Amino acid sequence: MNKTVTKVDLSDIDDEAPDLSTSPWVEKFQAATVRSGRPKSPKTKVSTTIRLDQDVIDAFRAEGPGWQSRINAVLRDWLRTKS
């Protein structure tokens, strides 16, 4: 056993971090709004299942991320030409 165990004594380290359990930190944490996830869009999408040819999916995916949004844009353009 050549391994020497080295313990670090942290009791003498001067900690400059503020004590977050004291005022005014407690009030700031309580007043903070918790936001998780991405912001809600005013126009929500509907989840659906659609069957497309594999070559169509491959072509859109080959252009990189956002391929579903690009399919949506193509369908929206098609709708504009119909009306």
First to last CA, the chain: 82
Residue 60 in any domain: the answer is yes
From CA 72, how far away is CA 78, in angstroms rounded? Answer: 10
Query: For the chain, how many structural domains are there in total?
Result: 1
Residue 72: inside a domain: yes
Alpha helices in 1-83 (DSSP H): 25-31, 54-62, 67-82
pLDDT at residue 48, as a whole number? 93
Whether 55 is in a domain gets the answer yes
* 41 φψ region: left (φ > 0), alpha (ψ -120 to 50), beta (else): beta
Ordered per-residue pLDDT tens for the chain, 83 residues = 667 777 777 776 766 777 778 888 888 888 888 888 888 888 888 999 999 999 999 999 999 999 999 999 999 999 999 97
In a domain, 41, yes or no: no
Domain that holds residue 73: 51-83
Query: Within a domain: residue 74?
Result: yes
pTM: 0.51
